[in-house]
Amino acid sequence: MWSVLWAAVRSKAPYVTFPVAFVVGLVGYHLEWFLRGDPPPTAQEEKSISEQREDRKLQEIAGKDLTNVVSLKDKLEFAPRAVLNRNRPEKS
C-alpha cells in the first residue's frame, strides 16, 4: 500500500509543488518590497555613460563661438610629426 501511495505522490508532485512555490515566492517578493521601501530607479530612467558624456560636452561648448576657427594656412601643426623631424620643413 505504501508503494502505491508513494507512486501517486511522486507522479502528482509537480502539480502540488508549483502552486506552493508560487505562493511562497509571491509572499517573499511583497515582504521584501515592504521591508526595503521604494525600489531603486530602473535602468531606463538613468542616463547611460555615453549620454552623460554628450551632455557634458554640450555644456562645455555652450558658451563658445564655434565659427571662430584657425585657418589651416595659419596653423603649422596640421601635419603629423615625422620620425625625428627629418622630413619636416623648419618653421620660419
What does the pLDDT read at residue 23?
Answer: 95
Whether 55 is in a domain gets the answer no
Whether 60 is in a domain gets the answer no
Number of domains in the chain: 1
What is the spatial distance between Cα 52 and Cα 56, in angstroms, rounded to a whole number? 6
Joined together, the cell numbers standing for residue 66 give 564655434
Whether 59 is in a domain gets the answer no
Asked if 88 and 82 count as a contact pair (C-beta separation under 8 A), the reply is yes
What does the pLDDT read at residue 54?
Answer: 93
Whether 38 is in a domain gets the answer yes
What is the spatial distance between Cα 13 and Cα 77, in angstroms, rounded to a whole number? 78
pTM: 0.37
What does the pLDDT read at residue 26?
Answer: 94
> For residue 65, what pLDDT band results from cuts at 50, 70 and 90?
confident
The domain of 41 spans: 1-47
